[in-house]
Amino acid sequence: MTVQKRTGNKKKVYIISLIILMLFLVISLCTGRYPLEVREIGRILSGQGADETAKSVFLTLRLPRTVMAFIAGAGLSMAGSIYQDIFRNPLASPDLIGVTSGAGAGAAFAIVCFGQGGGMVVGSAFAGGLIAVGAAVALAGMAGHRSASDFVLAGIAVRALADSFIMAMKYLADPERQLASIEYWTMGSFSSMTYEKLMTAAPVVLAGFIGLLFFRWQIQMLSLADDEAAMLGVSVRVVRISVLALTTLIVAGIVSVTGAISFIGLVAPHIARILLKENGFSAAVLSGLVGSIIMLAADCLARSLGGSEIPVSILTSLLGVPVLVWLLVGNRRGVNGN
């Protein structure tokens, strides 16, 4: 395949993904207990004689929720793609180095010790994610050479410690109120999304993404062996820790307001690589688009299936497992075919 043809195919993939994303953004804005029509949304945005109830639903509930679902899908999926590249591990995900578990531990601590106030839970979850990754980096540093495998093993250890802390908080929690809140947080949801939470997460995610833009070439090189990346002029230790810090900001900022959401950061990068047939930062960007589409679709289903809202992580898992099975079977067939 020529470079020109590959570039053309890449543009087509991006354009189609953007069109599908725009479609699901509109569907998300229209879907819910109080359905909205596209024409009604147009009147609300233009300020021309919109129904007050529809306007309140759109501006207060639907808009911040849809925007956060888009941000969460994009951020978690980009982080997963970058983790898979820099750790050279196809099963890497945002929880690989303990950031999601750390955020869960922080949220559980705030719920048990300070009640269920939104601001305290969000702040504690964000701090927990940062502390978990800092502990993983420090633990990996004790190994001396700080290879990708050191970070993975350190992350597993920190994640296990954070999960143990969450179980301890569940044991201490009030069974009638606090325990249910902890369990619901670990399943992820956009049901209580507000502009305050959105404005807490969005600047952090944006700062992390801007930082990653400056490391886009180095991220490509980190998918190679450490020695090869060093020969190409990459300061492997500095870049890996810097990229981990930036992706941690993105993931911690998201899960602190949405709760833990599984599978998005694992599945979307694989779909993006299949479509682009390459790794690196361009695949990470497409992963963000694919992840947003999956997240918006899952959130729409969460609102419309059943009598009460379903935690979104249940649906992302249901959507993600078939993709993983398909990838597994496809790889096995490829090996057998060779």
Q: For the chain, which domains are there?
A: 3-327 (1.10.3470.10)
DSSP structure class, residue 147: -
Q: Is 22 exposed, middle or buried (0-12, 13-18, 19+ CB in 10 A)?
A: exposed
The residue whose two tokens read 């682009």 is 276
The whole-number pLDDT of residue 17 equals 92
Per-residue pLDDT of the chain (338 residues; tens, 9 = 90+): 565 666 767 888 899 999 999 999 999 999 888 888 888 888 888 777 677 888 888 888 899 999 999 999 999 999 989 888 887 777 778 777 788 888 889 888 888 887 765 678 888 888 888 888 888 878 877 766 556 677 778 888 888 999 899 999 988 888 877 888 888 888 888 888 889 889 888 998 999 999 999 888 887 777 676 677 677 677 777 888 888 888 888 988 898 888 888 888 888 898 888 888 877 788 889 999 999 999 999 999 988 887 778 888 888 888 777 777 776 676 544 434 43
Count Cα atoms within 13 angstroms, Cβ side, for 177.
8
**The whole model's pTM is what?**
0.88
Task: Looking at 223-280, list the stretches that DSSP marks H as alpha helix, in order from N- to C-terminal side.
Answer: 226-231, 236-258, 264-276
Q: How far apart are CA 13 and CA 70, in angstroms?
A: 19
